């Protein structure tokens, strides 16, 4: 909301400035009315495009961003997080163990901890919850 006011404030200011410039040019006989109006219109058209593009870029970046704060809140350790990401990739316990150079028993331990922290009963549920919390990459 604040941003909207700022944008329109800047817009009105720009209109006033361009008014003065266009009036000056018309009185000097350098510009016709049509040209002044046309230039103004096109300038503001592109201002509209530019502002909207900026807002939309910000939006799509936000949705991709991982919620590091949430990970902290849940007290998920880095190793547990690694295991979570591997689970979300569809790997089995054995595969994850091989990937991370530990035993399957260790993976089971991490998984159990993850379930506690995410309040999940099975890995598919843990993936869903993690996705909803934006704590794992969309990849």
Told to check if 100 binds DNA by CB under 7 A, we report: yes
Told to check if 23 binds DNA by CB under 7 A, we report: no
CA 80 – CA 18 distance, rounded (Å): 59
The angle subtended at Cα 97 by Cα 95 and Cα 103, nearest 5°, is: 140
CA 96 – CA 91 distance, rounded (Å): 6
Q: Identify which of residues 4 and 78 has a Cβ nearer to a copy of itself in the complex.
A: 4
CA 27 – CA 75 distance, rounded (Å): 70
3-state class (DSSP) for residue 120:
coil
Told to check if 80 binds DNA by CB under 7 A, we report: yes
Told to check if 22 binds a copy of itself by CB under 8 A, we report: yes
Interaction mask 82-101, a copy of itself, x per CB under 8 A: -----xxxxxx---------
Q: Which of 84, 89, 95 is nearest to 126 (CA)?
A: 84
Told to check if 18 binds a copy of itself by CB under 8 A, we report: yes
| Chosen from DNA, a copy of itself, none, partner binding at 69 (C-beta under 5 to 8 Å by type) | none
Told to check if 112 binds a copy of itself by CB under 8 A, we report: no
CA 62 – CA 113 distance, rounded (Å): 29
The interface with DNA within residues 58-77 (CB under 7 A) comprises 75, 77
CA 120 – CA 23 distance, rounded (Å): 69
Q: Where does this chain bind a copy of itself (CB under 8 A)?
A: 11, 15, 18-19, 22-23, 26, 33-34, 36-38, 40-49, 51-53, 56, 60, 87-92, 120-129
């Amino acid at each position: 909301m604040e941003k909207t006011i700022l944008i329109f404030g800047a817009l009105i200011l720009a209109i006033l400035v361009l008014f003065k410039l266009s009036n000056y040019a018309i009185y000097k006989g350098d510009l016709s009315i049509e040209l002044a109006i046309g230039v103004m219109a096109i300038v503001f058209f592109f201002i509209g495009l530019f502002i909207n593009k900026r807002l939309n870029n910000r939006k799509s970046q936000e949705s991709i961003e991982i919620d590091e704060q949430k990970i902290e809140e849940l007290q998920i350790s880095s190793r547990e997080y690694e295991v979570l990401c591997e689970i979300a990739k569809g790997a089995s316990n054995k595969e994850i163990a091989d990937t991370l150079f530990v035993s399957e028993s260790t993976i089971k331990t991490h998984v159990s901890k993850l379930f506690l922290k995410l309040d999940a009963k099975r890995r598919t549920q843990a993936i869903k919850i993690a996705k909803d919390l934006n704590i794992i990459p969309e990849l």
